[in-house]
Chains A and B, each alone.
Chain A
């Protein structure tokens, strides 16, 4: 099955709140938003970032701007003031999520 890179359908930005990170994913079109609403689930994003040892992922929707907000618990191994990581604020996650590969449907309309 053909694979589609999320970055070909959307753009994203990430940041921190305490030990959580959020990744806003903005679809490039209404059609892309509708398709991503089906396939870019919280579970899909959670499994993508699982190697980092993250916690629960919640997905919210902002249909007015064709966007999703993924809130990732325990994403920063302690948060900005405490984490030992170079990226203590989760700034890189928004760029990394764009490499997520999705299974393309046979006859995707857009």
Chain B
């Protein structure tokens, strides 16, 4: 018995056609769509602060009209997504309207909530829970007045529960990325929640496909040997009830799946490989091995699991003033020196207008500033000047936004590319990773038909 799980989105903003392409030619049992980076939650929080009915990933409901014909014709695949973001019920409502319009009134949609803990944080602080920042150790009380979201990373159980309750679409808020894959596997194979090695293997599978094309040739170092980037195939994990795992991609798609492309993804955004933590299982990756079974097929073995911790990761975001960034091109034999001078002019002018900026950064892209000082580059003839600022005072940022354009006439020669207008002030956010005891978190699963969600 096996299960083919394909991932058609690795972040919000990923290729809009990928979910359709992988459903069309991937022979999938399950489609996962992973949208939520750390930064995404800050964006959703900002959107929700303006409109309480928003705060989910709008790309997902927009996909429904394109996927509905396949669902109707084939009865599947099941879809599991964290597109719900900060508002899974509103996301279900929007997706259900499209399913109903496509004649799928009875399509069962499961919604997982309970990850959103924002309203509880002040109470829990008063009860003595500190939620210390995982990197700095500071208590969350220092930013509690400015919190815009605080979500626990839920695991696979509620996804499996929704699927067992006949849901064919499962929409969650914040869940661990790998759990999008573990949930359907556990539901299909009836694994127990202490079947650590099976949970570990499926977590590895989920980790390998969660970033979409990063497993199938995207970002691969040998990029000039990747065939057809423009139609790159998104990754598929074939899981067996016995814990087998093979990573592959749709036939005749672009990209490639080799032990090298998959190995690069295994090490992506991990910490201690002896203890890759998810809400479902702690995974030991150190003895994971990969074998090229056939073209574009890599078998992954050796993941070992142990019981996860008694706390879940908490991902909170707080308001942190305002930010803006402006860019112009600078050309000429002194391009780098002129760009640095122009950057100083901007900051000086904001200062003379009465604002000593709390944070400012002048980068000369093309002169080595992506990672300042690490790699020496020969003097470039053209560079991009990028000036970026952050300040608690919106007025300071607004003033900054008016000081880029004058460089065109009142700065050094050879400045070009200021046609796109003034930069706009944007809210700045800070990220607060912490831990929350599991007993405080009460996940909830609701399965209803599209018709019911749509009303």
Which residue numbers of A lie inside 8 Å of B, CB to CB? 7, 11-13, 15-20, 22, 24-26, 48-49, 51-52, 60-67, 69, 71, 73, 78-82, 84-87, 92-93, 95-96, 98-99
Contacts and interface: CB of A to CB of B under 8 A. Distances in A.
A61 B285 CA distance: 10
A64 to B, nearest CB: 4
A14 to B, nearest CB: 8
Given A84-B388, A86-B365, A63 B360 contact: no
Contacts of A71: 271-272
Nearest to B264: A13
Contact of A96 (B274, B286, B371, B389): B371
Interface of B: 37-39, 42, 134-135, 214, 219-222, 259-260, 263-274, 285-290, 302, 317, 320, 323, 325, 359-361, 363, 365, 369-375, 386, 388-390, 428-431, 433
Contacts of B134: 18
B221 A81 contact: no
A78 B370 CA distance: 15
Given A17-B269, A64-B288, A92 B221 contact: no
Contact of B286 (A26, A62, A81, A99): A62
Nearest to A95: B221
A52 to B, nearest CB: 6
B370 A18 contact: no
Contact of B271 (A7, A22, A98): A22
Given A24-B266, A65-B263, A67-B267, A86 B374 contact: no
Interface-centre pick from A15, A65, A80, A93 (highest chain B CB count, 10 A):
A65
A81 B370 contact: no
Contacts of A11: 220-222, 260, 264
A69 B372 CA distance: 22
A99 B368 CA distance: 13
A36 to B, nearest CB: 14
Contact of A62 (B271, B285, B370, B371): B285
Given A64-B289, A86-B363, A18 B270 contact: no
Contacts of A15: 268-269
11 contacts: A12-B264, A13-B265, A13-B267, A15-B269, A17-B433, A24-B267, A48-B374, A60-B273, A63-B286, A67-B263, A92-B371
Contact of B288 (A16, A65, A73): A65
Contacts of A73: 135
Contacts of B268: 13, 15, 24
A60 B269 contact: no
Contacts of B274: 60
A73 B270 CA distance: 13
Contacts of B272: 60, 69, 71
A104 to B, nearest CB: 20
A18 B287 contact: no
Contact of B264 (A18, A24, A79, A96): A24
A11 B431 CA distance: 30
A22 to B, nearest CB: 6
A53 to B, nearest CB: 8
A25 B302 CA distance: 19
B322 to A, nearest CB: 12
Given A12-B221, A13-B268, A19-B135, A85 B363 contact: yes
Contacts of A22: 267, 269-271
A90 to B, nearest CB: 9
A20 B263 contact: no
Contacts of B37: 80
A82 B429 contact: yes
B365 A62 contact: no
Contacts of A65: 259, 263, 266-267, 288-290
B221 to A, nearest CB: 4
A26 B361 contact: no
A54 to B, nearest CB: 10
A19 B267 CA distance: 18
B273 A93 contact: no
Contact of A86 (B42, B290, B370): B370
Given A22-B270, A81-B429, 10 more contacts: A16-B38, A52-B371, A60-B273, A64-B288, A79-B38, A80-B431, A81-B430, A84-B361, A86-B365, A98-B221
Contacts of B267: 13, 22, 24-26, 62, 65, 67, 69
A18 B431 contact: yes
Contacts of A86: 363, 365, 369-370, 386, 388
Interface-centre pick from A22, A64, A67 (highest chain B CB count, 10 A):
A64
Contacts of A25: 267
Given A64-B302, A71-B271, A79-B431, A84 B264 contact: no
